[in-house]
Amino acid sequence: MQIIRMLSARMRKRFGINAAHDRPRSAVWLCLCLMVLCLMLSGCSSSSSGASSGTADVPEALEEHRSTVTQIRMPETDGSAAVSNGAGTVTIDYSHPDQGYVCILYTGDSQQVQIQLCLPDGTVSPYPLEPGAYQTFLLTGGSGRYQVNVMESVGDGRYAAALSLPVAAQISDELVPFTWPSQYVNYSQDSECVKLAVQLSDASATDLDYITSVYGYVTEHVTYDKELAANAPVNYIPDPDATLSSGKGICFDYASLMTAMLRCQQIPTRLEVGYSGTAYHAWISVYLEESGWIENIISFDGESWTLVDPTLGASNNASSVSEYIGDGSNYIVKYHY
């Protein structure tokens, strides 16, 4: 109370208010003094709590933040449009091409099964197919005619078609294919990367804040796995939760983890695979309503984005990264996943 009286006296003197003769104005200033005091106390309280808790990996949630997605959207295999091969070992569920995906199930005995997804522009995106459960493949080429070929190994490096299907897709929104989990960006409601994404989103005021936070987390907590890079299998499939748990990965893992954490919060994100110079590489692009597609992200300096590649962003040598990135011409996209 003594502090309030002091503040009130100082403010009356500063603005020439006589408490005895100008009671309405004096009451207003007393209320203002109370507000100032509350702000001072809340500021002190925040500082004290921050000092005692130390530096946290995940910041505390904000009172006002972006609209966090808590129920993750997952692809559906309802069978409303599906076809199987004669042996019953392959099923393609194409119930939702308007949502930008098809799902494929393999239950056969072959250990080497490949998907050839032919896009409307003629590009052929190859994928390995593992048996046992439906896997989701994105229609990243926009609306048009796709061809889905499921190929089984018949030995000596040769493959035979187990099932082929043309799919006509009239995609409802060109962004929607880049908001789903998929074979190379695999997550579910119970994934650890999804739980972390919710925490980071709750501590972010905007989509841009959230993207920056996810990027910072991934590049600070994942180190490049040189041994895996030297011995990665031909049909390597990244696992976002495994990368998060081990804290190690190759470029594909960095890109997959960051893509998963953005897509599960409904930020359209392209996982892009192609060439960085002469090296086969993976990176990402994201979409913001106010900016459109932000190609090949690496960092945000407070005013503009530069090329963002989560692997390069983890490098301690920022100057060499910037020099290499240049205008982005070192990056040549071959596939969107």
Supply the pTM of this predicted model. 0.74
The residue type of 136 is T
Q: pLDDT digits over 224-275, tens only?
A: 888 888 888 888 899 999 999 999 988 888 889 999 999 999 999 998 876 5
Q: For the chain, give the percent of residues with pLDDT over 70.
A: 66
- The predicted structure's pLDDT at residue 40: 38
Higher model confidence: residue 75 or residue 319? 75
Tokens of 299: 């960092």
Nearest to 72 by CA among 196, 207, 212, 219: 196
Distance between CA atoms of residues 284 and 311, nearest Å? 10
Q: Which domains does the chain have, with CATH numbers?
A: 2-41 (no CATH), 82-176 (2.60.40.10), 192-336 (3.10.620.30)
Asked if 301 and 293 count as a contact pair (C-beta separation under 8 A), the reply is no
Structure tokens at 51: 């000092």
- Token output for 130: 């593992």
CB distance 68 to 202 below 8 Å: yes
**Residue bearing tokens 């590049």:** 219
CB-based burial label for 249 (10 Å; 0-12, 13-18, 19+)? buried
Rounded distance between C-alpha atoms, residue 130 and residue 194, angstroms: 23
At which residue do the structure tokens 């390069």 appear? 312
Does residue 331 carry a pLDDT above 50? no
What does the pLDDT look like over 112-147, one tens digit per residue?
A: 999 999 999 999 988 999 898 999 999 999 999 999
CA-nearest of 212, 223, 194, 229 to 288 is 212
Higher pLDDT, 38 or 310: 310
Span 273-289, average pLDDT = 72
CA dihedral 203, 206, 209, 214 (to 10 degrees): 70
Mean pLDDT of 215-230: 85
- Report the distance separating Cα 79 and Cα 168, nearest Å: 17
* The pairing of beta strand 113-118 with beta strand 144-155: antiparallel
Pairing of strands 135-138, 101-106: antiparallel
| pLDDT digits 0-9 by tens, 295-314 | 665 433 333 334 444 454 55
> How confident is the prediction for the chain on average, in pLDDT?
76
Give the rounded percent of residues in the chain with a pLDDT score beyond 90: 45
**Average pLDDT rounded to a whole number, residues 43-56:** 35
CA dist., res. 57 & res. 257, Å (int):
17
Task: Give the model's confidence band at 317: pLDDT under 50 very low, under 70 low, under 90 confident, else very high.
Answer: very low
What was the pLDDT predicted at 41? 37
